[in-house]
Amino acid sequence: MILVFGGTTEGRMAAKELEESGSAFWYSTRGGEQQLTFHHGIPISGALDCEQIVSFCKDHEIRLLVDAAHPFASELHRNIAEAASSLKIPVIRFERIYPQRSGDIIWCRDFQDAVRRMRGVRRLLSTAGVQSIPKLRLLQDGGTEIFHRILDRDSSLELAARYGADRSHLCFYHQGEDEFEEIDKIDPDAILVKESGLSGGFLDKTNAAIRKGIKVFAIERPAMPDGFLTVNGPFGMRRMIEKLLPEFYPLHSGLTTGSCATAAAVAAVAALMERSHPASVDIVLPDRESITVETHFTDSSAYVVKDSGDDPDVTDKMEIHASVAKLDSNDIVIDGGEGVGRITLPGFDSLPGEAAINKGPRKMIEDNIRRLYPEQGFRVVISVPGGEEIAHRTFNPRLGIEGGISIIGVSGIIKPFSEEGFINSIRKCMDVAKASGQDRVVINSGAKSEKYLRNYYKDLPPQCFVQYGNKIGDTVRIAYELGFRKITLGIMLGKAVKLAAGNLDTHSSNVTMDRDFIAGLLDSCGCPDSVTSRAQSITLARELWDIVPQNRLQAFVNEVSSRCRNACLPLCPEAELTVLLIDDSGSIY
């Protein structure tokens, strides 16, 4: 069991990621103001000291702590550290993402240092929270007029009154308002902020003040206790939990080829520029979260062994290599080598003839190198030994990508059996279909049905046939969004009877064959009671081809096709939607 200390944006993110596991966990907040809806999490509220944390953990068999509390909750961090030490259990610190410290800001070690540095300020706007009111009393006694911006809630107002704050010197921020619109009204000489990170609105606050020529004093975030395992995003937290408590997530996550290529490139740059061969490197994902990736080296390249987790990815355990060379310019030039495919058709981020390295991974590679060497240019070549052979088991041949795999990944991470990843693959196939210039796309469930449909639409190029697997609704929607107004849905009977019932995702984990619904279909197309009765004992929907009387077969097909069409029409209201029902022998109705 896991105990999370939350009440913050990071706590919310941690809870969301833990919910995906399906396993129970505890979520602790001090005041209970943060309203979260849990399916597997168990909320508790009230401040806990070290002794109470220890007792709670023993009573509930807690094996891991996640500290996602506010960075300035120093007492709580110490209590968590002491409790973890006593219990001999690990602590994951879910840290905020912090921007680089700016020279435009006056940095203060703590409140005492800030008070000393702010002497002489005539009028101050403090955003350091209600707890800071007594800490600034000495400054106020010295003649500084202080306005405190606090949370607009009863507990904060009560505490401010207890600290003796003048109600006329309190101001509030409500979500959705323009940050610091009260500056013009208060006209402060300076503002005081905490180093609260991106999620705490640090840049919004400081940039708003700097733009108006107002001095900014910032209190540095306190150091965390030793021994915390620090992450700064939900994926890093999940990966850490998978390592420490492997059983908590039934399926484990992985890295995209884009993340592996990025880490390999960063390691190769380190080898070139610093003559070092790090066992791991940190890379920043598109959402600004950073993760650590294990790296290896050959004489001429750095590489990462692809970890797909429990996702059924054919590239799992492949080596993603990067070799780099310095350029005279400061450009970052990225190309593909052995095992990375080449684009031969339009419809991609890159032009035909270029390496199949998607826009997202290209940007990741460039951004991560620029972070380390902003002025130096490099040529980066990504290669995948064995990639050409493995590419035959991917969508690449259908997409006109020859000679290897693609380097892909929007988020940089792989969730096990990722629906998002599969839908992204459908979208990419649909992009290529659109770029072919044809006005019709033919969507189908897989290789078998596609073979029959290609023979039916002999004049259409292969790129116009897109497989939906079970994601019928998503595929129709994507086709319509991309402008297709002639859509053919080829479907075999097993999926057709599920779709006819209104199930746009026909995966067996979501919906099973409904024999009562099938009996209703048979009855509505005039089949005798004996046929309807037989349908109640079928194991597979395709058995219906044998039990529906020949003189009612076309009526049955019409009924199923019509209902399938009606289920999909709301997703493509202005399209010419054709439904073709396919039997096991390849006959098309």
Residue by residue, DSSP assigns 431-458 as HHHHHTT-SEEEEESSHHHHHHHHHHTT
Cα–Cα separations (whole angstroms), residue 248 to 23, 25, 296, 303, 523: 6, 10, 29, 30, 48
For residue 99, the 8-state DSSP code is P
Say which residue the tokens 């408590």 belong to. 245
- The reported pLDDT for the residue numbered 182 is 65
Please state, in angstroms and rounded to a whole number, the distance separating the CA atoms of residues 184 and 316.
Answer: 57
CA angle 257, 263, 265 (to 5 degrees): 100
CA angle 208, 211, 212 (to 5 degrees): 90
Cα–Cα separations (whole angstroms), residue 331 to 328, 367, 369, 374, 407: 8, 12, 11, 10, 20
Q: pLDDT digit string (tens) for 372-417?
A: 999 999 999 999 999 999 988 877 887 788 999 988 887 888 877 5
Q: Quick one: angle between helices 472-481 and 553-568, nearest 10? A: 60
- SS3 per-residue string spanning 536-571: CCCCCHHHHHHHCCHHHHHHHHHHHHHHHHHHHHHH
Q: pLDDT digit string (tens) for 221-254?
A: 999 999 999 999 999 999 999 999 999 988 888 9
Q: Kindly provide the b/e burial profile for residues 408-447, where b requires at least 16 CB atoms within 10 angstroms of the residue's own CB.
A: bbebbbbbbebeebbbbbbbbbbbbbbebebebbbbbbee
For residue 98, the 8-state DSSP code is -
- The reported pLDDT for the residue numbered 359 is 87
Nearest Cα neighbor of 29 from 19, 15, 39 is 15
- The reported pLDDT for the residue numbered 578 is 94
Contacts of 303 (CB under 8 A, 6+ apart): 264, 295, 296, 297, 319, 320, 321, 322
Q: Which three-class secondary structure state does DSSP give residue 129? A: coil
The domain ranges of the chain are 2-95+224-244, 106-219, 254-414, 436-582
Q: pLDDT digit string (tens) for 87-117?
A: 999 999 999 999 889 889 999 999 999 999 9
The CATH fold assigned to 106-219 is Rossmann fold (3.40.50)
pTM: 0.69
Nearest Cα neighbor of 507 from 482, 555, 471 is 471
With beta carbons less than 8 A apart as the criterion, state whether 66 and 52 touch. no
- The reported pLDDT for the residue numbered 417 is 58
- The reported pLDDT for the residue numbered 108 is 94
The CATH fold assigned to 2-95+224-244 is Rossmann fold (3.40.50)
Taking the CA atoms of 41, 44, 49 and 52 in sequence, report the sign of the dihedral they define: negative
Mean pLDDT, the chain, as a whole number?
Answer: 88
Fold agreement between 2-95+224-244 and 254-414: no
- The reported pLDDT for the residue numbered 227 is 93
Please state, in angstroms and rounded to a whole number, the distance separating the CA atoms of residues 201 and 208.
Answer: 11
Please state, in angstroms and rounded to a whole number, the distance separating the CA atoms of residues 360 and 410.
Answer: 6
Cα–Cα separations (whole angstroms), residue 214 to 293, 340, 453: 42, 52, 68
- The reported pLDDT for the residue numbered 32 is 63
Nearest Cα neighbor of 559 from 506, 507, 518 is 518
The CATH fold assigned to 254-414 is CbiD-like (3.30.2110)
- The reported pLDDT for the residue numbered 268 is 95
- pLDDT tens-place values along the chain, 589 residues long: 999 999 888 998 998 888 888 888 999 998 766 667 777 888 998 889 999 999 999 999 999 999 999 999 999 999 999 999 999 999 999 999 998 898 899 999 999 999 999 988 998 998 888 888 899 888 888 888 888 888 877 888 888 888 888 888 888 766 555 556 667 678 888 999 999 888 888 888 888 888 888 899 999 999 999 999 999 999 999 999 999 999 998 888 899 999 999 999 999 999 999 888 999 999 999 889 999 999 999 999 999 999 888 776 788 899 999 999 999 999 999 999 999 999 988 777 788 899 999 888 999 999 999 999 999 999 999 999 999 999 888 778 877 889 999 888 878 888 775 566 678 778 888 888 888 889 999 999 877 788 899 989 988 888 899 988 888 999 999 999 999 999 999 999 989 999 999 999 887 656 778 888 998 889 888 888 888 888 888 877 888 888 889 999 999 999 999 999 999 999 999 999 999 999 888 889 8
Half-sphere exposure of 458 (CA within 13 A, CB side): 1
Type of residue found at 557: V
- The reported pLDDT for the residue numbered 418 is 57
Please state, in angstroms and rounded to a whole number, the distance separating the CA atoms of residues 113 and 96.
Answer: 23
